[in-house]
A and B are shown apart, each in its own frame.
Chain A
Amino acid sequence: MLKRAKNTSKSVLDVYSHAKAKLSLSEQVKFSQNKSVKNFWGNSFPSIVNFAQESFATNYSGDPIIEWKYLIACCIHYKERILAFIDLKKEFELNILNGDFENAELSLSLITEKYGESLWSINATFLLSEKQGGREANWQKLSEIIKTKDDALFRLIIELVSKKNESLIRFDEFLKSTHEQISILPFDDYIKQFVYYCLGIKSINNPLSSGILIYLFSGLPVIDRYLFLTRFSELLYISCDSETFKPFLYPIRSLYKTIGHNTILRNILLYENQVSLNDIMIDTNEFEYFEAYLSGDIERAASIIENLIVNEFRLKYLIDYYTLLPSAYSAKTFGINNSLLNELSRTISGVIDKGQLFVSTLRMANKLELQMSDFVDLSCFTFFVGRENTLIDSAPYFNLLRALDDENVGPSMLLYFNGPHEIKATKDLCKRIDAFPMVSSLVEKLNNFDNSNINLFDAQTFEKLFFADLLTERKDFITSIQLLESVLISENLYESSIAFLKIMEIYLEERRFRALLLHFEKFLTIKPGFFERVNLEFICKEIDDSDFENLEDLIITPIIFSKAQISAHSIYGALDSFLSFHGVSKPSSLFDATTKFERGYFLLLLNEVCVIEVIKYLTVFESTTEVENERLIILKYLADSEFPEKKAVIDEFVEVAQREVIRKGLRNYNSGKITTDFLQLRRHITEKLSSSFSRFKDQKLFVDDSTYKSVDYENQGQVKVILDLNSLGTINRYISLKDPSFLSLKLIVNEMRDIFLNSKEHGLDGHLSTRIRHGMLINHIKRVFVNHNLLAVKEGNLFNDINFWEYVLFEKPDAYNPLQIIFQEFSIKLDEYCQKLRSEYIQIKTEKDLDKPNALFDFSFNPEFYMRLYAVVEEHNIESSEFVEYCLFALLQITNINLENVRRYLRETVNSDLRIMLEEIKIKIQELFQDHLHSGIITQVNKAATDITYELENISRWFHLADEDTEFKLQFTDIISIAVKVSNILYPTFQLNPTIKANSNEKLTCSIGIIDILRNLIENVVVHSECLPEDLDLKIDGYYSNDDGVVKITMSHRLGNGTNVQEIKERFIEYNSQWNNKDFYGDRISNEGKSGIKKIRRSIEYDLGASESSFEFTLNNYVIIISVTFNIPKL
């Protein structure tokens, strides 16, 4: 960005930059008015805002004060327009608060007409359109606005601004995704800080390094600069000491003198004794209701505030209404439905209520605070939201915020602003408030606090809170805690919660963790709402750092850890310390010692702390299965006890138990993909070869009895065979290779091998084809690289860009295309490699297959093999069935040897080849970035290298023979869940969460085969639906009848709007009519390229052995329902 600015017309930039650095505020304004000076303030009121090089009129000076002065001089120069804008802005805000969207729209269009587009107007547009037409209207505006923006960073900002106004996105989700998006930007922190500021998320790490941030705002329209400088002044003032703030203060004074009306700037100057209180109106309304409140006349206080909210709305009135009055008043709300006022009112009352919806309501409040960026007296709301969000020790910070944003000065300045400095203005104010004796008495007491003269314990609860603060300041912790404990019983939830927090603060300050935890123990179950304002994360971190010293025995310690938003490993630390103290290594061992603990807390510990994510770190467990078994034991204990949330416990029990089933299912699905159906193979071979074998036996007898035997004796075809046949003994004799009976046997063995390998129903190649080569192998390899954003997807002949890198490479746009080319080249290479692996390596060869030199399943028989068989038959005169048995056994042994070779090939050769490819990428990336190596990219490549090793280890496990006799049986819902899970693993960017139903709880035969069929059906949806997963509305329904073994799978889902429905209809009509036409769906072998539905048809016939099946569908209004019916062996 800075570089961009530097690239513009250098001489003008230099002159302007020099002027910015050397001239005073008034000189800068004068300079800008010089006729020869054009555009000294940059693009001030653009009709379309962009954030490009032209937006900057100067270079960055490196000095925050110079940038600050320049920003303020610009606002002074445009003061009239700014003031006029502020009036219109107020009008817009009032309209939107009252739900008058039509007039809000008019005000907004007038603003953009007069003052052009700004970040403020863009936010206002999204807020208004969201209110008027929901997210679709917001998106519509986004698409219109984004088209006009050239800069990728600015586009990102606009997208995020639109997102923050989306009512359906929760605040925490917005914040999380925003942090994620911003964190991957390869920029220095100041650019990231700039993005956060543009979104209304503000913080100052070091004011002296904020120069670049101020400079960046000089590239935005004047309106945004003015609003920024107001908020930034406020933030600076509350975060810095006076000395640091001083250089920023003088320009603020100049601006305020010129521009006049700006509450925040004025109050800063007031507190810094730069303006007189005499010039400021006193908010007598606020004094009146405080007076009534402190006198105990709650009804009158309520009536005054209600009147103010309706007639002279200010956010502070709304907040005071709910915080000062007892909880009975929280039911009342203000404003018409869908108005911002109504939303604010419901949100504030919900937060104060601290009920079950506290967390979600507070999120709404946070969201509103962000959406209402730069609203008049927003800081009052920030004060409220911030205070509710954080530890009470931040109170002075937030109290100051409230006082700073008070247009007409009220008691908040006196009561809330008890900060570190003595403020002259507060003393002046005291002199003017004689009409309000209760307020002035309280202020007087606070100003001249001497607890020996006041009966602290007779004071109003509101007063006690202030007195406790003063006692704490004087380190009289004992009296302070006693005073606060008397407030804890107040009927006003707000007051008692404050007392609770203040006590906590004292313990924390003194690092009395044991007392603190016992304080928590008293209230955790009876007043859970109190904890919502507690920064448990911070407290747990402090306790963690103390290594739980003197806390190990307390059951509350792990419970408090589990309530905090901290890592499961930290919670485990607390739990492990607790368990070790009590001499056990796992939670279930505590069942015998329950009397040691308070029952409610013991059950809470079991339910909330001893969860899978936490107990998995206990070293006593060696696998996920063991961890889940422990959780099941705990859940059973909870279900059998008087635990109140039994339903949730039972639901979790079912879920955990199912998880184990699914994992076993997945393990089965992934382990032996090669199955042999001995019974079927044996029958098939026996049927087919019994006559050949009889012929061979007859022939052999004939040869034995005749001279025919000696036909070839003189030739070289005779070999001496010495064989050790293990249990069958040893053979040591001559066999002629041209003996017709030998040749006959050879033919029989070859035929048997062909059936074993190529039988359409039971052959090995069929398993390789349908279960491994068809999609699975390649998808499993590729998904690793997709996960790490290294693989480009091909559409037609072109590769799509991997968009992930667009933002990552923002600062190095020149590298974007070359990097995409690197990944595209890698994608081509990987694709070729996978295709080769599939078509050349995961193949079967015999001595006849000269065109398959690389096939890893080598069933080539050498003469010795035949001779061994021949010798066995000859020596032992075995029968046909024994011969089949012997041959099958031999073939299985060869298969196992081949499988071992394949596994080794995958783990070693393929792993090494793919790692070399990744190394090549790394070299290319290093060449591209040279000395500015982008570590994020290399990290992704390195991670892919580790993951591919694991994935190949996974894949290699498919290459085991699975035993048909111990077939894995699953319930229908588990079968569907596993198929969905497999799909989610294979398609990481297309995560499905379908509605699953099944009519039967029976465990089905052929479970693994049905998973395969379902997986293919789901894959069909993933590839062809042209719909986003969240819009898919996928429903999967399983039906099974044990009467006739009929299985019916029904899947319904939406199709994307762009789908060619007619084409799909025609295709599905064809599937339906041709379902039983073998020419249509083809043989089992080598059909990897054919359509998913055809493959499903083949699997039903060849893998499940279903004799009958059907396919049906309906297609209405972009919703398709597919049903596949087939029969399986009955249970």
Chain B
Amino acid sequence: MNKNIIVVEDDQSKAEEVLAFLRQNYPQYEIVRVSSYNSAMRFLQNSSFDLMILDVTLPTFEDEHFIGERSFEKFGGVMILRELKRKRKLLPTILFTMFDDFGIRNEHISLDQISKELEEKYSTFFLGAVFYESPPGRDWATSLQKIMNDNNFNCG
């Protein structure tokens, strides 16, 4: 049976980079990409995956682009993890985000803090968090690869 990875990411350029990285280094996996909280939940409900690479902040729905229409889930990725636990679908997940700090007004929480909290809450399936820094840094690729390899997702 084919192995699958689901990438939940709304930022086009970031998604392209991570998809290219996965296709190059893990060609044995089939990759599905979705870009909203809702579509991720639907996919997770109807299909089975071996790994999820998950952004933190996500739009609620897939195809709502117009001003005044689009709503965002600031911690959409965290919500998905919580749903996985409630629905007892313990899919190994790596958080993948370009923000190392979430919300400057209401909620002020760093990626490290989120990661630590998730490690405690979802220790059975949360594998870690990767901070994506846009070019020129490619540290994210090394970090992602390390977490994947440490958890037996080996390069092809």
**Residues in chain A within 8 A of chain B (CB atoms):** 180, 183-184, 547-548, 569, 573, 576-577, 616-617, 619, 621-624, 662-663, 666-667, 670-671, 780, 808, 915, 919, 922, 935-936, 938-940, 942-943, 945-946, 949-951, 953-954, 957, 981-982, 985
Contact = CB atoms under 8 A, between A and B. Distances in A.
A670 B68 CA distance: 10
Given A621-B38, A666-B69, A954-B66, 7 more contacts: A624-B60, A666-B68, A936-B101, A939-B100, A945-B98, A949-B11, A950-B65
A666 B37 CA distance: 23
A569 B61 CA distance: 15
Contacts of B42: 619, 622
A624 B100 contact: no
A983 to B, nearest CB: 11
Contacts of A808: 104
B134 A945 contact: yes
Contacts of A982: 67-68
Contact of B13 (A548, A915, A940, A953): A915
A954 B10 contact: no
B12 interface: yes
Contacts of A569: 73, 79, 82
A919 B65 contact: no
Contact of B100 (A938, A945, A985): A938
A547 B85 CA distance: 8
Interface string B86-102: 10100000000011111
Nearest to A935: B101
Nearest to B37: A617
Contacts of A183: 104-105, 108
Interface string B41-59: 1100100000000000100
The 7 closest A-B pairs by CB, nearest first: A939-B101, A935-B101, A183-B108, A666-B68, A619-B41, A942-B98, A985-B67
Secondary structure at the A interface, as helix, strand, loop or mixed, is helix
Contacts of A547: 85-86, 88
Contact of B135 (A577, A621, A919, A950): A919
A670 B38 contact: no
B61 A184 contact: no
B128 to A, nearest CB: 19
A919 B62 CA distance: 27
B83 interface: yes
Nearest to A577: B86
B61 A957 contact: no
Given A619-B38, A666-B69, A939 B63 contact: no
A919 B13 CA distance: 14
Contacts of B61: 622-624
6 contacts: A621-B38, A623-B61, A666-B66, A671-B66, A939-B101, A982-B68
A624 B71 contact: yes
Nearest to B46: A619
Contact of B65 (A617, A621, A945, A954): A954
A1103 to B, nearest CB: 21
B110 A935 contact: yes
A957 B68 CA distance: 14
Given A666-B67, A942-B98, A180 B105 contact: yes
Given A667-B66, A935-B110, A981-B68, A919 B134 contact: yes
B108 A667 contact: no
B98 to A, nearest CB: 5
A679 B62 CA distance: 37
A904 to B, nearest CB: 13
A70 to B, nearest CB: 33
A936 B104 contact: yes
Interface of B: 10-13, 37-38, 41-42, 45, 57, 60-71, 73, 79, 82-83, 85-86, 88, 98-102, 104-106, 108, 110, 134-135
B104 A667 contact: no
A622 B11 contact: no
A808 B101 CA distance: 14
Given A616-B60, A619-B45, A950-B70, A573 B38 contact: no
A778 B108 CA distance: 31
B104 A957 contact: no
A670 B86 contact: no
A954 B85 CA distance: 35
Secondary structure at the B interface, as helix, strand, loop or mixed, is loop
Contacts of B108: 183-184
A966 to B, nearest CB: 18
Contacts of B135: 919
Contacts of A622: 38, 42, 61-62
Contacts of A950: 65, 70
A946 B41 contact: no
A670 B67 contact: yes
Nearest to B88: A547
B122 to A, nearest CB: 12
A623 B100 contact: no
A957 B70 contact: no
Given A619-B42, A954-B66, A943 B99 contact: yes
Contact of A573 (B67, B71, B82, B104): B82
Given A619-B41, A935-B100, A940-B104, A957 B65 contact: yes
Contacts of A184: 104-105, 108
Contacts of A780: 67
Contacts of A577: 86
A946 B38 contact: no
A939 B68 contact: no
Contacts of A938: 100-101
Given A569-B82, A945-B134, A949-B11, A663 B62 contact: no
Contacts of B101: 935-936, 938-939
Contacts of A919: 134-135
A945 B12 CA distance: 11
B69 to A, nearest CB: 6
A949 B65 contact: no
Contacts of A936: 101, 104
Contacts of A915: 13, 134
Contacts of B64: 623-624
Nearest to A570: B82
Residue with the highest number of chain A CB atoms closer than 10 Å, among B67, B73, B100, B104: B67
Contacts of B41: 617, 619
A617 B82 CA distance: 13
Residue with the highest number of chain B CB atoms closer than 10 Å, among A808, A919, A949, A950: A950
A915 B14 CA distance: 12
A180 B106 contact: yes
Contacts of A985: 67-68
Contacts of A667: 66, 69
B66 to A, nearest CB: 5
Contacts of A617: 37-38, 41, 79
A520 B73 CA distance: 31
Contact of A663 (B12, B68, B82): B68
Contacts of B98: 942, 945-946
A662 B82 CA distance: 33
A957 B66 contact: yes
B13 A949 contact: yes
A780 B67 CA distance: 10
B91 to A, nearest CB: 16
A177 B156 CA distance: 52
A548 B66 contact: no
Contact of B66 (A621, A670, A935, A942): A670
Residue with the highest number of chain B CB atoms closer than 10 Å, among A547, A619, A938, A985: A619
Contacts of B38: 617, 619, 621-622
A547 B89 CA distance: 13
A882 B45 CA distance: 56
Nearest to B59: A950
A548 B67 contact: no
A577 B86 CA distance: 9
Contacts of A922: 134
Contacts of B83: 573
